Amino acid sequence: MQESKLKFSELEMMIFTLSLIGAILLATLIFGQLGFAWAFSVVQILMFTIHFVVLIRTKNPVYFIPTGMYGLWGLTFFPPLAHSPLHEVFAVISVFFLVGFIWVLATKKINWRYREILELAAKPVTDASDGFTSRPFVSGQANFSRNEALGLARFLLKHVICFPIIEAERIVLVIPRVMWVYLLGFRRSYEEATYVALAKSGEIIVRIAQSDYQKFKNELTFDQLCQSLGELFKQFLQHYQEGEPQKIIHKLNSI
C-alpha cells in the first residue's frame, strides 16, 4: 500500500468527540448515576438530531441506521422513561441498530470522503517545485449536460462525498473536511473551500484551499495537484454518464 501523502486530518471530529465524552464524565462526577443518564441521553438526542438532518438532506436510507440507534439510546437512558414499560423494548431494539451501525462503519457506507479524494488527487503528483496559489485552476474541458452534472451532484451528496451548490452557470462540488458544517447549514459559502466546479461551458474548475493544501506532508506542485483533482472528477463524471456510479465508491474505497 502506498504511503499516505496527508498529515492527520481528523482533529475537528476528535475535539468534538472528546468534548462530548468530557461532558458525560463531568456530569457523572458531579451528579452521579443520574447525571450520567441525563448527559448520555442528551448527547444521544444531539447525535440523533444531526443524523436525522443528514438523512433528510442526503436522502440516503443508510442513515436511518445511525439515526435509529442514537434515537433509541436517547430513549433508553432518558431518566423520565426509566420506569416506562417500553424501556426494555427500546434497549433491545437498539442492539440490532448497533449491529447495523457496526456493519455501516465496516463497509464505509457513510464515510466522509475528504481524505480519500485528496489522497487520490495527490497519488500521481511526484514533483514538489511550486507551492500554493489561491487562484482557481481550469483543469480542462468535459462533455456533459446540466442534467448529468445535477445527477452526479445528487449521487455525490447521497454518499457524502461532496456538498453541491447549484448556480445558474455551474455546479460547485465542495469537498469539506467536516461535511456536517454544510449539511447542517452552518456554512453556505464555498469561496475559501476546496471545490471542483462543473461549468455550463464544459470547463472543470478546481480550487484547493490553503488549509487543505497544508494537510499534505510535502509541498506538492500545486498546478499538478489541481490538474489531478480535476481529472479525478472527470472520471467520476464519466462513470456516472456510463451508468456505473458505483465505480466512484469502489475507487474511493481503494484508498
Residue 78 lies in a domain: yes
The C-alpha atoms of residue 110 and residue 50 are separated, in whole angstroms, by 14
Residue 3 lies in a domain: no
Domain edge (last residue) among 106, 137, 170: 106
Same domain as 155, residue 102: no
Same domain as 33, residue 61: yes
Domain edge (last residue) among 55, 90, 106: 106
Question: For the chain, first and last CA: distance in Å?
Answer: 9
Residue 1 lies in a domain: no
Same domain as 97, residue 165: no
Residue 42 lies in a domain: yes
Answer whether residue 131 shows pLDDT above 80. no
Task: Give the list of residues 6+ apart from residue 142 with CB closer than 8 angstroms, or none.
Answer: 198, 202, 204, 234, 237
Answer whether residue 162 shows pLDDT above 60. yes
Same domain as 131, residue 225: yes
* 1 — pLDDT class (breaks 50, 70, 90): low
Answer whether residue 213 shows pLDDT above 80. yes
Same domain as 43, residue 144: no
pLDDT by residue (tens digit) across 187-203? Answer: 989 999 999 999 999 99
Same domain as 91, residue 183: no
Domain count for the chain: 2
Same domain as 87, residue 45: yes
pLDDT by residue (tens digit) across 85-100? Answer: 899 999 999 999 999 9
What sign for the dihedral angle of Cα 80, 83, 84, 90? positive
Same domain as 120, residue 96: no
Residue 2 lies in a domain: no
Phi-psi region at 59: left, alpha or beta (left = phi > 0; alpha = psi -120 to 50): left
Same domain as 179, residue 80: no
Mean pLDDT (the chain, rounded): 94
Residue 5 lies in a domain: no
Give the mean pLDDT of 127-151: 90
Residue 198 lies in a domain: yes
pLDDT by residue (tens digit) across 241-251? Answer: 999 999 999 99
Give the mean pLDDT of 37-60: 97
pLDDT at residue 127, rounded to an integer: 79
Residue 192 lies in a domain: yes
Question: How many CA atoms does the CB half-sphere of 51 hold within 13 Å?
Answer: 21
The C-alpha atoms of residue 126 and residue 2 are separated, in whole angstroms, by 13
Answer whether residue 176 shows pLDDT above 70. yes
Domain edge (last residue) among 81, 106, 131: 106
Q: Which residue range is the domain that position 89 belongs to? A: 11-106
Same domain as 234, residue 183: yes
Task: Label residue 206 exposed, middle or buried (CB < 10 Å: 0-12, 13-18, 19+).
Answer: buried
**Percent of the chain whose pLDDT exceeds 90:** 84
pLDDT at residue 182, rounded to an integer: 96
Give the mean pLDDT of 215-241: 94
Same domain as 94, residue 210: no
Same domain as 94, residue 206: no
